[in-house]
Structure formats: structure tokens, C-alpha cells
Structure 1
Amino acid sequence: MTTLIHNVILIDPEAGTETPGALVLRDGAIAERLPAAPESLERFAEVVDGGGRHLAPGIVDWGVKVSEPGERHKESFRTAGLSAAAGGVTTIVTRPDTAPAIDTPEILEFVARRAAQDSPVRVLPMAALTKGREGREMTEIAFLRDAGAVAFTDGDRVVEDTRVFGRALTYAKGLGALVVSHVQDPGLSRGAVMTSGKFASLRGLPAVSPMAERLGLERDLALAEMTGARLHADQVTTAAALPALARAKAQGLDVTAGVSVHHLTLNDFDVGDYRTFFKLVPPLRQEEDREAAVEALASGLIDVLCSMHTPQDEESKRLPFEAAAPGAVGLETLLPAALRLVHGGRIGLPQLFRALSLNPSRRLGLPTGRLVVGAPADLVLFDLHAPFVLDRWKMRSKSKNTPFDGARLQGRVRGTWVAGHRVWEG
């Protein structure tokens, strides 16, 4: 089927442009890019009038937790896929921190089958770096890579044994595999639920210094330099860590970094009166850290913006702040929350979609994230200025633990296409 999407503003993150135009979709790919709709529309089986809205490459959300196997009551591939489609996310890159962990080809193949059956969007799994995510013995990286793993990570668990982590990086280097690390010093950050400062002291909560992130990042970058491995730091959220990242890139190390939308749009004051929906890993940072992370994303020092979608049920959040489970869902709120930066004049739309779509695609070796002829027809149509108040009970995720409940947001998804098929109509 040939589809024409016209009367839209095309957001091209590769060229860095916003231009009026139209796209022709055929056989799951972009077949033509036009300045406007042709006079005759007879050759198109479907014609979509975008109403002057923005059309961009579909979002590649890197670091999504889908709770299969083990905790399907929190999130399934079906509900995660529906939530992603409603949020303009066309590819979800899943984490291996399930129960059991995704650390064998058999578990990985089970996950891939369930995803293919149930999810309307693309699902690419990451596998555990060490067995059971325990940091003692590395997994069979070669077999897992052959089974479809796009990267290797222990999630938010730091591989504390430097020798084990170094060996894993060396092995991954030989295979060309990508390793994703969580950059925290475990000794300093263990048990902490807030970033240290006056506000944490007033709340009487255990806190961690931002230097814990810098120490963790410095170690991992040194090992990446030693081994020559490909490394991605999943969450760089503090001003203290950014100079180390800049030095590593200037040295030519094969390293990239990401940040979650929550750390770019919220700060530690949002915890307020112990609001557990704002308990995250790493914890929300002070305002100067948030500002530094926004500047790093706009400049390209931080490469990837993601939701770090972590579903938790009501029971695990209805606890004292220190005992509550960390994490927040974000598949549906990633785009409207990120558009706060656009409306605030902090970043342009092409730069935003470079971090949301193009950079994660490039780092993972995917053909998505571009608006060129031949690229996959994974697209999101959104109304940049449409205001709404988020009601968490209307979200498609099984879990409703969003810090944006009741927040005023601006920017609604009106259509999502995966391989040329419309999977969401808003």
C-alpha cells in the first residue's frame, strides 16, 4: 500500500532542518520526499492530511523496562507497545533487569517471541553483561549477540569488580559489542535516595554526593580507554561528571552518554513532601545539575535522551519514601515532557530529535531516525502546541507511576507509523 502524508513540517535531525513537505510511504519505507502534495492523488491508497503539524522520525527509546518475564502485572509487551505507540515511540530498546534476568539465549529468544506477538512497535532487547546481573561472571556475550541482543548491561547495578568489568569490555571489544554502564560509585550511592544538599538534609533522607557519578564515570572511561571497547553511559545527570565525558570524547574514545527526560525537566525540590513517584535511580539532581545536563544535550555532549521507563505497581510506591521502589514510567510522556525544552527555547526540534531518534539509531547500528528515501517509515506526527493536563489513569501502561500526573504539558501525538503501518491515531 502506498501512503501519502502531506501538509506537514518535516523535522530532519540529520540535516538539522524544519521544512514544509510531504512523504510517500511504500513497502515499509520512505519512497519519496516531496516539497508538497502532488496535484493528482489517485496513485495513493491512503492520503493523510497532517494539518500543518510536525512529522519526525519515530522515537527510539533506549532503556525501557518491560516486566516480562517475572513481573507481568507491572508491564507486558502488549501494554508497553501500546503506550509506546501513543507516545510516538516506534522502537523500544529493553533492559535485562527482569526476573529472571535476560542472561541466556533461551530467555532472550522467549522475550523476542513475546515482543513480536504482542507489541505494535519494534522491540530490541539488551542482554545482561554478567550472569544474574551479579557482577561476578560475564555472560555468553557471543551467543547472546547471535540471538539478537543489541547491547549488554547490568542495568542499574554497577559491576563493582573492576577486573570482571575490564574482562567483559575486552571480550565485547573483540566482538564489536556495545556495553552500557550505570555510572555510580556503589560504595557512596548504596542506600541513598536523594542527591546530597540542604533539601535532602531538611527531609532527613539518605543522600549521595554528585561526585559518586563522576567517580563511576571516570572508572568506566579509564577501562574503555584501556580496552578500546564501545561504551555507553546510560545516565549522566550531574555537572561534575560532564568534564570527564568531554575529555574522553576529545581523546577519541568510542563513548556516548544518555540522560532521562525526568532529569532534564525535574529537580530534587519536586520530591516535595516525600512524593514517591519522584524517587528515581539515580535520584533527581539539584537545579544547577539539571541546567548543566540540558546544556550538554543541546551541545551534543550528551548524545541520547530517553524515558528510562520503569513501571512499578501501586503497592510498591505506597510506602515511605526511603522504602518505596524507585523508577517512573515514561513511554507516553517522553515527547511532551521533552518539548518543555523546546517551548522554553533551550533546544530546537531537529536537535531534540537527534537525541531522541538519530543518535540512538546510529549508536545501535539501526537504519531508523532519518527522513531519507529508503529509510524505514517509522514516523511520529505531533501537534507541537496542543495543551493538555496529564491524567495518569488514562495512560496505556499497566503501571501509572508517572511524576507528571496532573502536570500541564504541551504537545500531543496525533499519529505513529511503524514500517509504514499506522499503529496510533490520536
Structure 2
Amino acid sequence: MADNSQTDQTVTPEDEVVRICQDLIGIDTSNYGDGSGPGERKAAEYVMTELTEVGLDPELFESEPGRASVVVRIEGEDSSRGALAVHGHLDVVPANAEDWQVNPFGAEIKDDCVWGRGAVDMKDMDAMILSVVRDLARTGKKPPRDLVIAFLADEEAGGVKGSHWLVDQHPDLFDGVTEAISEVGGYSVTFPDKNGQDQRAYLLQTGEKGIAWLRLTAHGRAGHGSVPNDENAVVRLAAAIARIDAHVWPREYIGSVRQLLDGLSDLTGVSYADDDASDLLQHLGGARGFVEGTLRDTSNFTMLDSGYKHNVIPQSASASLDCRFLPGHEEDLMATIRELAGEHVEVTIVHRDIALDSPFEGALVDKMKGALLAEDPGAAILPYCLSGGTDNKALKKLGITGYGFAPLRLPADLDFAPMFHGIDERVPLESLKFGARTLQRFLADC
């Protein structure tokens, strides 16, 4: 680990953010979603050290041994105002080292980037938060309102052992919190405008699709592999998979998606139709996939499990299905899946969570826009809906309105969005420093 002994008030967030990001990436917090893996405890202890070193008094919470989250409240100038939660998650998805150019937990600096699992999702933002909070504590500056800073466990498995557990078991930690910011928003994309000039736009995340992780289990008659069987569970499951995969989910543009497309159309001069926005979406580069996932509900099969011997027809066969639904669509999606699955296939919910849709207006949004534009004048700022999910879903149970704001000014040629859960994750050093400056500016004015 890098030396973290600096407590001089002349140290700025951008002086520390790269070091902290490297330190966090170097701690393996892989979340396999099945209870295995190292857990977040070591990373949580690191965060505790970084916070206590500058005089703060954070608390560490474990939902079960090793599954650790850290929370600290910072008093603001006006505690009568609604507090702001600033949160990130400490876990990461697993990484197969053989697929990477570098050790995914080596936190190597290469080509002016920090490489490693979590560099994009989301130890870069964790580092920004830590660096800015340390600066607040060192300098004694108070933010305009109370801040609740949270570093959470288990987001990559739905937050059951992290954000949802804290909200259910310790809701008092979020007393008075009205709004929140977290990951997967505030990063830039660059495209040619209507005059052929490079235009940088920041995608501010205002919405999230809901989650329905389902298990489909087909039931049939077990038997010998040499005997004809018209109640084969594998065949029944395969037929259900084919029907669901062939289903075309109707397209619908919710408010945040419509605002994004209209804004992008105005900037580029490229029009779009409700049934085809492909020419317009290509201007988003790697972020196109995230946006395409929000034009309709989606259902993708991810895992299969059946049988135990080559010559035995199994009694059951199962598949895992990842469904994401737009706000207000959950009941229709579930009814459609059950109908398509058919009478011999049972549909059970493994994990579900709500969809979010927050307004692209108001004082907090104005402050986020202002911080970005102060650091990058001339940029455009557009809303978008995330096809995935964040811990803002858990906070919504307490009435907290959440946004994605992890500000990064990115090189035009960096295909950033596909690195979420991808290989060779990396974040430019200058982008980290930009993010630390922007977040510092925002929290000083929030």
C-alpha cells in the first residue's frame, strides 16, 4: 500500500485520489454472488483508517462476518436542511486474470491510467469520495448541509448484505437524508456536433431500470436416455428459453430517455424516429449499449443447470434469467415471462428491486451541472437512464431521491462504458483528478 501519512492542509483531493484508487484496487473484494469470495472487510478497514487519520469518527457495520460497510456523518453549516448521502460500493465483480493484459488487482499505472478491477466500477468514485472527505476534515471546512458518507458492501449482488441491510437494520444512519449521489453518471462522451466540431457531453444519471433476477425450472419425467420421453424437462426448458428469447419487448421512451435523445439530436443535427434511433445512438460510442438497454424492457438468459449423467433424462432443468424493466413495467414483465415460460416451467424470483426515475431539474441537479461546467466550460449535460442498478434503489425505500454523479472527463478515444464488468478496466489519471476537483466543488456548494 502507498504511504498515506500526509495530513498537511496543503494536500488537495487531486493530490491523493490516484494513490487511494490504487490502494483500493489492490484489495481484492470480488463478489461471486454466492457467499464466497474475500468480502469487503479489508477494504472497509482501509477506509476506516483513511477517515480516522484525519479526525473523523466512522462506524463499521457487518451484515455477516466479512461483509462490511462504513458510514460517517459530516456536519454541515445548516443541519436543518435535508442531508445528502454520498455513497459508493466496495465490492467488485470477479476477474479472470488470464483475460487481462495486467494483474487485475495489481493497480498498475500504464498508459497514464490506473488499471485493475474496480477502476471503473467503482473504486475510482470511492477514491474521489475519500479524497474529498479527507480534505474537508483536514481543512475544517463545513459543507452547506450534512453529508452522510457511505462505503457499502454487496452492491454487485443486489445490495442485500450492504445497502438494503443497512436501510432495514440501521435506518437511523440516514436520518434527515433527502437526496443521494453515487455511481454510473457524470462521465463524458465526445461526438461531432452539427458543425462537425468535437462536442463533449456529460451523461447525468437520473433513472434506473428495475431488476428481476428469475429462475426458470422445468419439470418432467426422469428416465433412461435410450427411451423416448415426451415429458423431458430439458426440452421443456429449451422451448421456454426459445420463446422468451424470441419475444420482442415493445419500445417505450420514458422521460429521461426522451430528454437524452432530444438533446443529442439538437447537438448533432441527427433526427430519430420512435421505432429507430440507431443513427443517433451511434454518436454515444461505448455508452450506446447502456442507452439501448433503456429503450424497452429486457430479458437475458445467463446460466443453465440440468442433468447429472449422460444417459439419464433429469426430472428437472433450470435457467437463470436477468430481466430489467422500465418504471411502471414490473407487473406486465412478470406476467409476460410466466406466459411465455409455459405450464410446465415454474418461475421464481431470486432477487428483485425497483426502477427509479428522478427529475432532471431542481437545486441539486443545478449544482451538479454547475460543478461540471465550472471545470469544463462549453460541455453539454444530458440526462440518461441506467440499464443496470445502483444502491440508490435501497435508499429509495427511505424516500431518498438518487442520482448517478461520478464525474469523469474522459479522452474521446477511450471506450469507457464497455469496461463496466469488462476486462482491462482502467481509468485515466487526469480523469480521476478532474473527478476529485469536480466532486470537491460540488460538495462545497451542495
TM-score surpassing 0.5? no
Greater relative contact order (Cα < 8 A, sep 6+): 2
Please report the TM-score for the alignment, with normalisation by the length of structure 1: 0.27
Which entry has the higher C-alpha Rg, 1 or 2? Answer: 2
Please report the TM-score for the alignment, with normalisation by the length of structure 2: 0.26
